[in-house]
Structures are given as C-alpha cells and as structure tokens.
C-alpha cells in the first residue's frame, strides 16, 4: 500500500494555518514528506513535552 502524502488530511493534524501552508509550499514529494515529519515531531514534543530531565 503506497502512502500518498498529498492525500493526508491536514485537518486531522493539530497544526496552525501557517504550518499547513508550509506543507503546501513544498517543492516536491520528498520535501513535503520531510516537512510533514518535522511538523509531526514538533507537535509531539509540544504536546507531550521533552522527557528525561526530571
């Protein structure tokens, strides 16, 4: 099963309109995938906090 990065529902992603626009402006599939990965990692860190210092 192939992942179509263009078909992912960004409405399900807890991202700001600016972050979603950042994904849309990617030059190609590889760049969009990297940006999506970075955005998801950022959201996870923001939501769960960075652990290991307590």
16-49: per-residue pLDDT in tens? Answer: 889 889 988 999 999 999 999 998 888 888 777 7
Q: What is the pLDDT of residue 8?
A: 56
Q: What is the pLDDT of residue 9?
A: 61
| C-beta of residue 36 within 8 angstroms of C-beta of residue 8 | yes
The verdict on pTM exceeding 0.95 is no
Q: What is the pLDDT of residue 47?
A: 74
| C-beta of residue 35 within 8 angstroms of C-beta of residue 22 | yes
Q: What is the pLDDT of residue 17?
A: 87
Q: What is the pLDDT of residue 26?
A: 93
């Amino acid at each position: 099963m192939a992942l179509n990065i263009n078909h992912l529902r960004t409405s399900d992603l807890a991202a700001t309109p600016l972050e979603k626009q950042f994904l849309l402006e990617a030059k190609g599939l590889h760049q969009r995938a990297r940006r999506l990965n970075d955005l998801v990692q950022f959201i996870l860190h923001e939501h769960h906090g960075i652990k290991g210092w307590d």
